[in-house]
Structure 1
Amino acid sequence: MIALIRYTFATVLHTQRYLAPLLLFMGLMGVLTVNGSGPLPPAYASSAGALFVCSTWLTIALMSLDDPSQRAIVVVTAGGRSFTVLLAAIGTALLSCLVLMVFGLLFPLWVGDYVVTTADLLLGLVAQLTCALVGVGIGVLCSRLVFKRQGYALVAALALVMGTLFTKGMSPVNRLFTLMSTTPDAAKLLAPAGVMLAISAVILAASTAATHFVAGRRE
């Protein structure tokens, strides 16, 4: 698994497919969090939203690094365990999101004027992790393993991202953003945020299983 993750990291760095989602993340952070003040939960909701969009795009890019013939070679090299190759790509996406989460936690504090508490930082961490898990889940479902045509994958990804963000109460992301924008006390949000995090983990697991099933039938 570690070797596969290293291979995926090396490939994405070489192809530079990380640049577009990374620049999008930086741009959203700059627009949404610069010169903020007041309670931190709304600012961290913005950081989590930026990471959500970035993680979706980054995962789709990671899952599409290899064409079918190259992927077949990687699977054979991994001992024929296609699920392990899939998990390595997901692991690479999540590790990349962890790096971005550090920036998402610290950048609002640098450019804004906030009173910071431990509960604020913990809530920001949980919110970003929730959005990263859901974003990676959507990216896996909209990858080349499920959609052969990239146009269909793009439409599906946009529909899922927009639905997740704006369909009221239908996703952990939307529910969490609603709570963070209306409740300034981070301590009161930790329990519901933990529930949203657990739901997002289930969503990622279900997306992974569905993608593996579809890919297995095609292979």
Structure 2
Amino acid sequence: MTALVRYSLSMLVRSQGYIAPFVLFGSAVVVLTTNDFGPIAGTYSACALIQFVCMLWFTVAIVNTEDRTQRSLTVVAAGGQRRVLVANVLAATVVCVGLSAVGLVYPIYAGTHDVAPADLAVGALAQLTCGFAGTAAGLLCSRLVIPKAGYAVFASLAAIGVMTMVRPVPPVGPVMALLSSATAPDRMLGPVAAMGALSVVMLVASVLVAELIVRQQD
């Protein structure tokens, strides 16, 4: 599995599909958090939002690096469609963890905040939660599930709109609403962790749905 994950990441680098979402993430984090002050949980809310959008984009880029023929060869060599899908998800998780580290640390040095351990825990959980949700959505918007690029773009925009603008839709909306509220960080940990668990369930479900759709297409 390690070799498959490294292969997925290397294909992403070779395709240069990482450049646009990486630039978007870096630009948004810098613009939204530099010289910011006040409760850092609110700042982490902005980082979590951009994490969701960028991880959707990164996941689509990872899955779409191979055309149908190349992916068929990879599936045969790897021993099954599920193993390749899991490797794609793990590669996206590596990217998600890296972006979360940047989104967690940069606002502290670029703004003026009183930071407690609970703030860091909530910020990390929130960004990972939104990142996993973005990965789940990206997998379902990839070429495996939606072969036509135009439809995939509309599906991606719809997913971003619904999950970020409709606040009751979990897990992104509730996490953003909670971090933007006046709730104490230590009281946020439980609800944010629950949303994190939900995002993992969504990610597992998206892998199973994508695998089922690919099998039906074959």
Give TM class, smaller chain.
Answer: over 0.9
Amino acid at match of 1:104: G
SS state at 1:168 partner: coil
Q: CA deviation at 1:184?
A: 4.8
SS state at 2:147 partner: coil
Aligned counterpart, 1:121 = 120
CA distance in 2, matches of 1:183, 1:205: 32
CA distance in 2, matches of 1:10, 1:194: 32
SS state at 1:177 partner: helix
Amino acid at match of 2:148: R
Aligned counterpart, 1:130 = 129
Amino acid at match of 1:69: T
User: For 1:157-192, what per-residue CA distance to the aligned partner results, in whole angstroms no more than 9, with x for missing partners?
Assistant: 110111000112122110111111112521110111
SS state at 1:114 partner: coil
Mean Cα displacement is larger for which, 183-192 or 62-71? 183-192
Aligned counterpart, 2:38 = 38
User: For 1:84-125, what per-residue CA distance to the aligned partner results, in whole angstroms no more than 9, with x for missing partners?
Assistant: 001101110011110111100011001100011000000000
User: For 1:19-69, what per-residue CA distance to the aligned partner results, in whole angstroms no more than 9, with x for missing partners?
Assistant: 000001011101211111111110011111111111000000101010000
Aligned counterpart, 1:52 = 52
CA distance in 1, matches of 2:91, 2:7: 10
Q: CA deviation at 1:9?
A: 1.2
Residue pair 1:136, 1:204 contacting (<8 A) in 2 also: yes
Aligned counterpart, 1:29 = 29
TM-score (norm 1): 0.97
Amino acid at match of 1:140: L
Tell whether 2:36 aligns with 1:19: no
Q: CA deviation at 1:16?
A: 1.1
Residue pair 1:41, 1:184 contacting (<8 A) in 2 also: no
Residue pair 1:39, 1:184 contacting (<8 A) in 2 also: no
CA distance in 1, matches of 2:167, 2:16: 36
CA distance in 2, matches of 1:12, 1:176: 29
Aligned counterpart, 2:198 = 199
Aligned counterpart, 2:65 = 65
SS state at 1:60 partner: helix
Amino acid at match of 2:3: A
Query: Structure 2 matches for 1:87-102, cutoff 5 A?
Result: 87-102=86-101
Name structure 2 gaps, 5 residues minimum: none
SS state at 1:138 partner: helix
Q: CA deviation at 1:8?
A: 1.0
Q: Share of identical aligned residues, percent?
A: 36
CA distance in 1, matches of 2:31, 2:96: 20
